[in-house]
Amino acid sequence: MDRSAASTASYNLYWKNGIDHEHICGDITESTPETLEINPGTSPIVIGGPPCQAYSRAGRAKLNSLGEHRSFHLDTRGKLYQDFLRFALELDAPAVVMENVPESVNYNGENIPHIVCGILEDNGYEAVWTILNSADYGVPQIRERVIVMAVKKGFGEIISLPIPTHNRHSDYRTQYEARFPGFAESKFFHKPNLPATDAPRWVTVGDALSDLPSLFTDPDQPYAQTKLNLRLPYKHDPKNEYQKAMRSGSEKVSGHAFRRTLRDFRIFNDMAPGDNYLNALEIANVHFKKALKERRVNEKDQPEEYKKIKKEFVPPYSADKFIGKWRRLDPLKPSHTVVAHLGTDTYSHIHPWEPRGISVREAARLQSFPDDFVFNCSMSDAFKQIGNAVPPLMSEAIGKAMLVNLNMAEVVK
């Protein structure tokens, strides 16, 4: 349950447009379709994403680190897809769409999307699952996600998977593409469509962020927390189609809060695009040794002062465990996956040309949220909501495909 996310959705989808509706926030295991107050005679499509933490590597590692009694395969969230299906079947939904992380194909030896498709098939649906990469749909981010698509017999059939709008820069293969041949063992698995050869190239981080306001250009400048509702003018006119689409004609944009990491601003400043935590440690130690020399301190004669200066310059995290947890974005490539952990820290997504972690608006841009999408919440909640979301541009492609499958293709014209 996430009341903050429900409030954000209610504001952006309803309240700011003058619609007196709101998102219900509740525990699905304690709810029934009757709680939705659906108008009689309507046939709602059921769309959802059961919590990914039980399936994802990050979620598994965290649970296992807390002790065997909380091992990931005992995490009850791993079975919430059953309640999702309960809602879909009790509502007799004409169509069902489910999203989750690719790791859900092996949850304690079980292929969750295959199981979901099997249950739906047994209840009169045609169902398939696939793995989509958001970069193929115009999102400036490589983000692979499992998508289950199902249509009730009599309402249509699965004749269309989402159609990619963008093409990759090279022969790059994503992590899960290499496993597609093995997934063929599941009769429900369908390989995703390929983009047209003349489709535009993937949108890069630079394409996505270059028109947003400069916030922190010097690692030694004073840090000032920016309120999320503060609207600032864009740096310049839109330079590409992605920026035009995100701006929708607006002249100012909000969401510029970024994290206060005083020790690390200097490190970020010297990191190159693509650098990780090992590179950051090397940079930090250069700064540390320089400070020791300038202050004429050595470990043997002044051990306490030495420790104090080291704490001032060098991050204390393990080089073995944190290699991939720091990364500076490359402006010439799509971002790596934007995750909900941004709600805790933003070391995983260091700004490509300013010495700081990305802002809330920049994270939203990397997920393809339009600039008029407002976050009336805390900075941490905003980052978490963005990382948990299905990118809107990929959602649009899925929606268009489902309209075709429901014989409603004319709706998207």
Q: Which of 61-65, 318-322, 375-379, 400-404 has the lowest mean pLDDT?
A: 61-65
Please check whether residue 375 is in contact with residue 250, taking contact to mean a CB–CB distance below 8 angstroms: no
Q: CB neighbours (10 Å) of residue 358?
A: 28
Q: Tell me what the mean pLDDT of segment 387-394 comes to.
A: 96
Amino acid at 250: S
Domain CATH for 404: 3.40.50.150
Mean pLDDT in the chain?
Answer: 90
Tokens of 57: 């590597």
For residue 191, pLDDT beyond 50: yes
Q: Which of 74-83, 222-231, 239-248 has the lowest mean pLDDT?
A: 74-83
DSSP bridge pairs for 151: 95, 126
pLDDT digits (tens, 9 = 90+) for 308-333: 999 999 999 988 888 888 999 999 99
Same domain, 141 and 273: no
Model confidence at 57, in pLDDT bands (50, 70, 90)? Answer: low
For residue 73, pLDDT beyond 60: no
Q: Tell me what the mean pLDDT of segment 42-66 comes to.
A: 66
Could you give the CA distance from residue 301 to residue 110 in angstroms, rounded to a whole number? 59
Same domain, 177 and 277: no
Model confidence at 164, in pLDDT bands (50, 70, 90)? Answer: very high
Same domain, 235 and 159: no
Q: Tell me what the mean pLDDT of segment 192-209 comes to.
A: 96
Same domain, 182 and 92: yes
Q: How many domains does the chain have?
A: 3
Q: Which domain holds residue 9?
A: 1-26
Domain CATH for 356: 3.90.120
Same domain, 189 and 260: no
Structure confidence at residue 139 (pLDDT):
99
Same domain, 378 and 336: yes
Q: Which of 59-68, 206-215, 307-316 has the lowest mean pLDDT?
A: 59-68
Same domain, 252 and 130: no
Same domain, 190 and 329: no
For residue 90, pLDDT beyond 90: yes
pLDDT digits (tens, 9 = 90+) for 98-120: 999 999 999 888 999 999 999 99
Q: Which of 41-50, 54-63, 302-311, 369-378 has the lowest mean pLDDT?
A: 54-63
Same domain, 14 and 151: no
Q: Tell me what the mean pLDDT of segment 231-235 comes to.
A: 97
Q: Tell me what the mean pLDDT of segment 151-180 comes to.
A: 91
Same domain, 242 and 287: yes
Same domain, 148 and 216: no
For 2-8, which contacts have Cβ atoms below 8 Å and span 24 or more sequence positions?
2/384, 2/385, 2/388, 4/377, 4/378, 4/381, 4/385, 5/381, 5/384, 5/385, 5/388, 7/376, 7/377, 8/374, 8/375, 8/376, 8/377, 8/381, 8/382, 8/385
Q: Tell me what the mean pLDDT of segment 26-40 comes to.
A: 80
Same domain, 196 and 274: no
Which residues are known catalytic residues?
52
Please check whether residue 314 is in contact with residue 288, taking contact to mean a CB–CB distance below 8 angstroms: yes
